[in-house]
Amino acid sequence: MARIRYFDGTKYVEIEVTEEFAAEYAAMEHRDKLVERKETRRHQSLDKSMEHGWDIADPSADVDAQAERNADKIMLKTALSKLTDKQRAILFLHIENGQSFRAIAAELGLNKDTVREHYLAAIKNLKKFLKNTPSKFNSRGY
């Protein structure tokens, strides 16, 4: 005869059972622990993992694509630096914030047509800069 411990809802109780039952109970407990571990891992926070000092490798991460994105960001940052402060501000307010030319004009104390002209000049300057910069997006190299 073998002895097993089981939880009856309030406390652990030790009982005597047959060897066959004890083996089956042990297998059942093992399966339950595996399922519990799988569920815990499925819902584990990545932030919590970082707190404990370990990181999880992302097999889907594409290092080459990340490098290209970084190069594109640098190129875009350089292109934006070629704009005047006013052009950059108007471009940002219109594209990022979705503001109309009329709203931007009111905010900056300018005429709506002046805002539109600055916006179009910014787009023209960006196109000109990016046209002269080789890129993977265009088969002709720009």
pLDDT at 5 over 80: yes
Higher pLDDT, 8 or 97: 97
Per-residue pLDDT, averaged over 29-42, amounts to: 79
Average pLDDT over residues 61-77: 82
Report d(CA 3, CA 58) in Å as an integer: 45
Rounded mean pLDDT, 13-38: 85
| 137 pLDDT higher than 80 | no
Report which residue type is found at 74.
I
- Cα dist from 8 to 14, 19, 85, whole Å: 10, 21, 72
Query: Does the global pTM surpass 0.75?
Result: no
- pLDDT of 85-95, one tens digit each? 999 999 999 98
Domain locations along the chain: 2-47, 63-131
Please give the class, per CATH, of domain 63-131. mainly alpha
pLDDT band at 141 (very low <50, low <70, confident <90, very high): very low
